[in-house]
Amino acid sequence: MTEKREIREPAGKLGVLMPGMGAVATTFIAGVELINKGLAEPVGSLSQLGTIRLGKRTENRVPKIKDFVPLAGIEGLISGGWDALPDDAYDAAALAGVLDKEHLNAVRDELKEVKPFPAVFDPHYVARIDATHTKEYGSLREAVEQVRDDIRSFKEEHGLERLVMVNCASTEAYAQPREAHFSVEGFEKALERSDPSISPSMIYAYAAIEEGVPYANGAPSLAVDIPALVELANERGVPVAGKDFKTGQTLLKTIVAPGLKARMLGLEGWYSTNILGNRDGEVLDDEKSLKSKEVSKLSVLEYILQPGVYPSLYGDISHVVKINYYPPRGDAKEGWDNIDIFGWLGYPMQIKINFLARDSILAAPIVLDLALFLDLAQRAGMAGIQEWLSFYFKSPMTLPELYPEHDLFIQQMKLKNTLRAIMGEDLITHLGLDYYE
Ligand SMILES: NC(=O)c1ccc[n+]([C@@H]2O[C@H](COP(=O)([O-])OP(=O)(O)OC[C@H]3O[C@@H](n4cnc5c(N)ncnc54)[C@H](O)[C@@H]3O)[C@@H](O)[C@H]2O)c1
């Protein structure tokens, strides 16, 4: 048995603030409203539909996760956010074209009320958005103060008890941590001099942490994934997680690759290509943003297959990922994977996967789960990187000395064991010998 943590009850309403109110954010907001009206089911949400086994198999204790841990109720969620375009959530959702008219019209009034705050925007980081709804500020420090004011006024206006922030903004240009990113002190000085290495996603993340608001990064942008902001999150007792929602092709990769490895089947190459035509695809049509996404997608196989440990099976893999913007597709993405594997005595075989996915339909339940689990983490006194939420990310954040865990099934076990641990239940090892000996 682990010791049960003290967890504050989820009293009052929870606000979900999203920088970026495009396809993913509005599909999430509309979905929550539809579910609360009893017009849809939260399909894809582990927090709402998932169960968790407790104790021995003979005990038959398998509650729903939401009945086991004290999660905030989906009926009390209030959404808001920022966008570089002025559209309310109804217009943005209609433009994104993910949900059909019947669904949108059923929650039209609720979506019309969700209007974004003006964005902290920098065209050097996102080139393809014609931003018309942006903040005016002198230094980046002033930009932070404006975002903090927005957070406070949203909380007050809606009578919220607590908030979480989930980054759903366009993918920023690829960047690696630079000098200004390595300490809180250095970061704060860089804010004063408006250092160009501080991106808008970092401004939102910094503002959230300063306001004590848990933060998740759904985009591949660096945002909170820099030492300075992780340090600040630890200091302020704020849980953070990231990055890049694990949805279509990468989700399948992290399902299939662990299976191949479990059976010691070799891999020669994995070629992945995608066509997508939504605004995310258009932003990714810019080379600098595309690099962030490709880097985020590429690391997965290496960590799962461990070529250093299994050189004869995975020592020489050709892994190629392509993303192509193709407007007719809209949000209905198509991914092709050609997987060249080999078996007994080295005989070659092929697997082809053709996934006709809906990007935002796969991402929306992740926004919901992250919001509810991060709120839980904060009430349970957990701070800094929440590695147990790796389950939801293409590039999970970890401490620098740890390699990330990409295998979906290990991630799931980590998530459920964390819930067992904070509730003082036995961890499940799946050993099972004691039933037989
Ligand atoms: N399945 C998925 O859809 C999926 C999966 C993984 C990651 N993501 C990531 O989630 C993010 C959102 O995806 P989407 O499909 O909703 O894209 P989208 O283009 O529909 O929405 C992004 C929104 O962000 C806004 N924006 C850009 N810069 C901003 C800024 N500085 N501040 C505030 N708003 C800003 C844009 O105006 C746009 O409305 C992207 O980074 C994408 O890569 C999506």
User: 195 CA distance to ligand 1 centroid (A)?
Assistant: 24
State whether the beta carbon of 129 lies less than 6 angstroms from ligand 1: yes
d(CA 405, CA 390): 7
User: 21 CA distance to ligand 1 centroid (A)?
Assistant: 7
- pLDDT tens digit at each of 437 positions of the chain: 678 999 999 999 999 999 999 999 999 999 999 999 999 999 999 999 999 999 999 999 999 999 999 999 999 999 999 999 999 999 999 999 999 999 999 999 999 999 999 999 999 999 888 999 999 999 999 999 999 999 999 999 999 999 999 999 999 999 889 999 999 999 999 999 999 999 999 999 999 999 999 999 999 999 999 999 999 999 999 999 999 999 988 899 999 999 999 999 999 999 999 998 877 777 777 777 777 767 767 778 989 999 999 999 999 999 998 889 999 988 888 999 999 999 999 999 999 999 998 889 999 999 999 999 999 999 999 999 999 999 999 999 999 999 999 999 999 999 999 999 999 999 998 888 888 98
Q: What angle do CA 366, 371, 375 make, to 5 degrees?
A: 145
Query: What are the DSSP calls for 244-307, one per residue?
Result: SB--SHHHHHHHHHHHHHHTT-EEEEEEEEEEE-SHHHHHHTSHHHHHHHHHHHHHHHHHHH-T
DSSP 308: T
d(CA 269, CA 313): 11
For residue 126, give the ligand 1 atom closest to its CA. 28
User: 363 CA distance to ligand 1 centroid (A)?
Assistant: 11
Radius of gyration of the chain (CA): 22
Nearest-CA residue for atom 27 of ligand 1: 170
User: 79 CA distance to ligand 1 centroid (A)?
Assistant: 16
Nearest-CA residue for atom 8 of ligand 1: 219
State whether the beta carbon of 358 lies less than 6 angstroms from ligand 1: no
State whether the beta carbon of 386 lies less than 6 angstroms from ligand 1: no
pLDDT cut 90: percent of the chain above it: 83
CB atoms within 10 A of CB 100: 8
Provide the CA 405 distance to its chain's centre, in angstroms.
15
